[in-house]
Homo-oligomer: A and B are copies of this chain.
Amino acid sequence: MTTDAALRATTQNSLCPIARTTSLISDSWTPLLLRELMVGRNRFAEMQSSLDISKAVLSQRLRTLEDNGVIERREYQERPPRHEYHLTEKGWALWDVLLAMWGFGDAWLFRDGAGMEIVHASTKERVEPVLVDRNSGERIDVRKTRLRIRER
């Protein structure tokens, strides 16, 4: 992959999609918080107890995700007002990032064979996340790629 000055900025204004996503989720709690939401823990108390995270930190992370359109609040009780946090379409799209993390972690961080598997709900067949090029269906070799600025 060749490089470009456009990669330089490390903020959310960088032209690099990795940099932008990093500024959104690269926090030691956020991927786990997204995981909780994906498995159906949508209430503050559930997430707090499951992750053993402080209320202040959890509130702050949820606010950031809400501000970025990754989650939205839904009231499930009026008096007193209580709400749940639900992933938006944008939030569900982060599933691919979590799946890629799953694939790496499963392959490289469980050398003793312990661990978990993802299976299809109906067939119980094992699901193995793998990243491919949408067009060719083949694995992407970083050393055979280049970057270019997109023409508008």
Contact = CB atoms under 8 A, between A and B. Distances in A.
A21 B24 CA distance: 17
Nearest to A28: B26
A31 B52 contact: no
Nearest to A35: B18
Interface in A1-19: 1-4, 6-8, 10, 12, 15-19
Interface residues of A, number: 88
A91 B32 CA distance: 22
A29 to B, nearest CB: 8
A56 interface: no
Count this chain's copies in the assembly: 2
Contacts of A148: 116-117, 119
A125 interface: yes
Interface string A28-53: 10111001001111000000001111
Contact of A150 (B35, B101, B117): B117
A8 to B, nearest CB: 6
B134 A146 contact: no
13 contacts: A1-B118, A8-B50, A10-B32, A10-B51, A19-B35, A26-B28, A93-B107, A100-B131, A113-B150, A115-B149, A116-B149, A128-B133, A128-B135
